[in-house]
Amino acid sequence: MNKRIAVLPGDGIGPEVTAVAVQVLKKIGEVFDHQFTFEEGLVGAIAIDETGNPFPDETLQLCQSADAILFGAIGHPKYDNDPTAPVRPEQGLLAMRKALGLYANIRPVNTFKALADASPLKREIVEGVDFVVFRELTGGSYFGKKGRSDDRLSAYDTCTYTHDEIYRITKLAFEAAAKRRKKVTLVDKANVMETSRLWREVVQKYAAEHPEIELELMFVDNAAMALIQNPRRFDVILTENMFGDILTDEASVITGSLGMLPSASVGNQVALYEPIHGSYPQAAGQNIANPMAAVLSAATLLETSFNLMAEGKIIRHAVEEALNFGYVTKDINPDKFMSTTEVGQKICDFI
């Protein structure tokens, strides 16, 4: 198979974890005789440094012409610590999601057997957890009108959703539930927010037409608690952009580390695969970041964009073997750990 993969390493640990994911994809290419070509593009703080634009046109063109996109992470403390900076790395990420129409971010949360004791939660809570979050990715308060008053002493972020934005991700979530345990939990704040009430209307109507899927409605504050108290109760969680962002970082605690959670950002055209974590600037350049979320994102890329199911499965198996043998980074085992590149090499050896 011949495929072109756009690689956007980004900032902080992005380049380190993405390099491991590319190494793994190259290994798969060798073993299965696929011709994967990799072309790098700029996004985030590094793109601002080099071009003044956090999502340059060349990167957009590269993404649009690729068969799939592998993304690392963006973000830099020089912007995090300066709320007045007019151009920010995160604007590049949001612009990329919008321009590529990536309206659904799919974040699976599963526990690996070898990591049942890596979570601060009790083993009996985390064992057997298997749910997936469908996070809306191009609407809500991250994309609504925002600004400041003339005296700059008040600020606003508008949360807007349309029927169609809700409907298209609802359809994806219900289709996924049909292949799983047939339950969708809509997480919202419909007791307070008008946008959430629109979500309930659209999703309840859809559910009425799909009675084979059980629909559960849950307020986000309750969901934040239930995720930690009894995560096995969830199958498919459907939610808006910001709630999905926050709840999935929380959910990563179930698996043992934020460095374990991959994701797929999909829409109508090219799809993008990304770990759910950020650029973890404290670890940048130290070769200590967990590359597994990026590697599992690469596995999802092969399965979802190229229908290479066996290849994806082999990567997942290799990650599991690395975990079983204790070939892990510091976030998983602070007493006995390997570097990012060593873990990457072990995964390739298992492949």
Ligand X SMILES: NC(=O)C1=CN([C@@H]2O[C@H](COP(=O)(O)OP(=O)(O)OC[C@H]3O[C@@H](n4cnc5c(N)ncnc54)[C@H](O)[C@@H]3O)[C@@H](O)[C@H]2O)C=CC1
249 part of the active site: yes
Our finding on whether 274 is near Mg ion (CB under 5 A) is no
CB of 249 to ligand X, least distance (A): 7
Contact assessment for residue 233 and residue 92, using Cβ atoms and an 8 Å cutoff? no
- Binding site residues, as ranges? 97, 107, 135, 221, 245, 249
Our finding on whether 49 is near ligand X (CB under 6 A) is no
What DSSP designation does 276 have?
A: S
> Which ranges of 100-235 does DSSP label H, i.e. alpha helix?
123-126, 163-178, 194-208, 220-229
Instruction: State the Cα–Cα distance between residues 350 and 313, nearest whole angstrom.
Output: 12
Which residues from 93-122 bind ligand X, rule CB under 6 A? 93
Which residues from 257-296 bind ligand X, rule CB under 6 A? 257-259, 277-282, 289-290, 293
Sign (positive/negative) of CA torsion 291, 329, 253, 123? positive
CB of 200 to ligand X, least distance (A): 28
Q: Could you say which of 79, 142, 206, 327 is catalytic?
A: 142
Sign (positive/negative) of CA torsion 260, 284, 73, 189? positive
Our finding on whether 91 is near ligand X (CB under 6 A) is no
- Binding site residues for Mg(2+), as ranges? 221, 245, 249
Residue 117 to residues 74, 126, 223, 225, 318: CA-CA distances in angstroms? 30, 9, 23, 20, 20
Instruction: State the Cα–Cα distance between residues 289 and 338, nearest whole angstrom.
Output: 10
Burial status of residue 95 (CB atoms within 10 A of its CB: 0-12, 13-18, 19 or more):
middle
Which residues from 244-273 bind Mg ion, rule CB under 5 A? 245
Instruction: State the Cα–Cα distance between residues 109 and 232, nearest whole angstrom.
Output: 10
Which residues from 183-222 bind ligand COI, rule CB under 6 A? none
CB of 151 to ligand COI, least distance (A): 27
Q: Which residue, 3 or 135, has its beta carbon nearer to ligand X?
A: 135
Task: Tell me the window of 46-54, 88-96, 192-200, 218-226 that interacts with ligand COI (CB under 6 A).
Answer: 88-96
Contact assessment for residue 279 and residue 76, using Cβ atoms and an 8 Å cutoff? yes
Our finding on whether 240 is near Mg ion (CB under 5 A) is no
Chain residues binding ligand X by CB under 6 A are 13, 17, 73-75, 80, 90, 93, 257-259, 277-282, 289-290, 293, 331
Chain residues binding ligand COI by CB under 6 A are 90, 93-94, 245, 276
Chain residues binding Mg ion by CB under 5 A are 245
Active site residues: 142, 189, 221, 245, 249
